[in-house]
Amino acid sequence: TRTTRVENLSDLLQNCDALSIHCLLSAETRRMVDAAALALLPSHAVVVNTARGPVIDEQALYEALRAGRLAAAALDVLQQEPPAGTPLFEAYLRGELPNVLITPHAAWYSQQSVSELRRKAAEEAGRILRGEPSHNPVP
């Protein structure tokens, strides 16, 4: 096992074997993983996005994959949903990207996650009905 101390995102990206994205979509995170960020990843790196599609510049990701600058990508979210007409998605449908896995925004699913989702929704509804503030307000 190799441990590397990093001081910033650039250092992190240069030392990644896998970049797994888990963040909200905001003005700060939109296209956070752009062409410049992808260029810092080693060619053996894998990109995983289960957060929000627009966090990654999808065109830049497509170009990096086509050029062999990345090993693979697993995407549970895309810039445009439902997906249609984007170069990455169309190439995926044609079988031109065997190193890409796209799932229909359902990677979260398991029996355990459904039970937890129901429990948390009931707890949140109870808080609202009691006049308490929501733990997860949606702006």
For the chain, what percent of residues have pLDDT higher than 90? Answer: 77
Query: For tokens 């359902």, what's the residue?
Result: 106
119 belongs to the catalytic site: no
Respond yes or no: is residue 130 known to be catalytic.
no
Task: Respond yes or no: is residue 96 known to be catalytic.
Answer: no
- CATH (residue range 9-106): 3.40.50.720
Residue 138 has pLDDT above 80, yes or no: no
Kindly name the residue from 31, 69, 105, 127 that is annotated as catalytic: 105
**Does 128 score more than 70 pLDDT?**
yes
Sequence spans of domains, the chain? 9-106, 109-139
CA distance 23 to 25: 7
At 137 the pLDDT is 78
How far apart are the C-alpha atoms of 55 and 78, rounded to whole Å? 9
Active-site residue among 81, 96, 116, 132?
A: 81
Give the model confidence (pLDDT) of 59-94 as tens digits. 999 999 999 999 999 999 999 988 888 999 999 999
At 79, phi and psi to the nearest 5? Answer: -60, -40
Contact by Cβ (8 Å): 38, 69: yes
d(CA 88, CA 100): 9
What percent of the chain stands above pLDDT 70? 99
For the entire predicted model, the pTM comes to: 0.79
